């Protein structure tokens, strides 16, 4: 079995080295049991030394590839990574955050449990999941409210659409790429919604998630951006999509100015 793991990276020069070392070392060991892999880092619009760090560690692990783009956005990076993985021999294709919030053993657990499903997603909010340390109450509240809105808009059952570790069968990725609309924070919802529409089952699996220092994430701002992305996607996938041209400039303005 061959697994392609995509890591979207925006200004992660200070943290991605540790992630690549951990994943490279862990999965090198798994090659002894017949699991082959590659790690595709998609640097998007980076202004730091992310690409330099990746190239340096890539000298140690030949399985690490770098795609370096001037264009930004998580969704853009994930789609470019998918395309690159499909050019190879991957049986399973997924992505994981650059900050090591999901340790390699937790990602390997997704590989072991995908079985006959079209995809499997790590979840922080199902029984058996472990968060180290426990998230602050405000962040949990924001996450739960956002998840309720997303589930209501798209009628999907997942308690955690935004956890940054997901894995899919090659066939599902091939079919879903032409249907993806979102280039930024809405990519997770876009993927899950469209893969389900294609008839594939997706398993939500308990995971280990660790809060990592050095995050540049503004929880309040990002939460609003995810909600805006969800609303855009809902319009695009409904009979009311004619109104998207009016909603898009409003959403773009809010994306830039919300603090």
Please state, rounded to an integer, the average pLDDT across all residues of the chain. 89
Distance separating alpha carbons of residues 195 and 114, to the nearest angstrom: 15
DSSP code for 135: P
Distance between first and last Cα of the chain = 44
Distance separating alpha carbons of residues 259 and 244, to the nearest angstrom: 24
Q: In terms of C-beta density within 10 A (0-12 exposed, 13-18 middle, 19 or more buried), how is residue 120 classed?
A: buried
Model pLDDT, residue 136: 77
**How much is the average pLDDT of 128-145?**
84
Give the residue, 215 or 45, on which the prediction is more confident. 45
Give the residue, 211 or 19, on which the prediction is more confident. 19
What is the domain-level CATH number for residue 55?
A: 3.90.550.10
Model pLDDT, residue 137: 79
Range of the domain at 64: 2-257
Residue 225 has pLDDT above 90, yes or no: no
pLDDT-derived band at 41, boundaries 50, 70, 90:
very high
* Residue range 73-93, pLDDT digits in tens: 899 999 999 999 999 999 999
Model pLDDT, residue 19: 98
Model pLDDT, residue 182: 66
Model pLDDT, residue 133: 82
Under 8 Å between Cβ of 15 and 214 = yes
Residue 253 has pLDDT above 60, yes or no: no
Model pLDDT, residue 215: 57
Model pLDDT, residue 218: 60
Distance separating alpha carbons of residues 125 and 86, to the nearest angstrom: 31
* Residue range 55-73, pLDDT digits in tens: 999 999 999 999 999 998 8
Mean pLDDT is highest, among 189-193, 212-216, 245-249, for: 189-193
**How much is the average pLDDT of 239-245?**
62
Distance separating alpha carbons of residues 168 and 195, to the nearest angstrom: 9
**How much is the average pLDDT of 236-242?**
69
Q: Name which of 96, 111, 122 is nearest 35 in CA terms.
A: 111
Domain total in the chain: 1
Residue 109 has pLDDT above 70, yes or no: yes
């Amino acid at each position: 079995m061959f697994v392609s793991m995509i890591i979207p990276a925006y200004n992660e020069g200070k943290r991605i080295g540790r992630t690549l070392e951990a994943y490279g070392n862990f999965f090198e060991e798994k090659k002894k049991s017949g699991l082959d892999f590659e790690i595709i880092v998609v640097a998007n619009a980076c202004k730091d030394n992310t690409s330099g760090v990746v190239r340096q560690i890539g000298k140690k692990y030949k399985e690490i590839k770098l795609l370096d783009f001037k264009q930004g956005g998580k969704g853009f990076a994930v789609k470019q990574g998918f395309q690159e993985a499909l050019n190879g021999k991957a049986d399973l294709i997924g992505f994981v955050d650059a900050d090591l919030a999901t340790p390699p053993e937790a990602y390997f657990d997704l590989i072991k449990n995908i079985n006959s499903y079209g995809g499997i997603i790590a979840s922080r909010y199902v029984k058996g999941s472990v968060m180290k340390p426990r998230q602050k109450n405000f962040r949990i509240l924001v996450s739960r409210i956002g998840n309720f809105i997303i589930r209501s808009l798209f009628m999907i059952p997942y308690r955690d659409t935004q956890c940054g570790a997901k894995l899919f069968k090659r066939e599902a990725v091939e079919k879903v790429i032409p249907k993806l609309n979102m280039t930024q924070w809405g990519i997770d919802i876009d993927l899950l919604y469209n893969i389900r529409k294609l008839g594939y089952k997706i398993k939500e699996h308990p995971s280990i998630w660790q809060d990592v220092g050095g995050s540049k994430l503004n929880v309040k701002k990002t939460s609003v951006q995810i909600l805006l992305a969800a609303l855009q996607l809902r319009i695009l996938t409904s009979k009311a999509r004619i109104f998207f041209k009016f909603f898009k400039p409003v959403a773009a303005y809010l994306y830039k100015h919300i603090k």
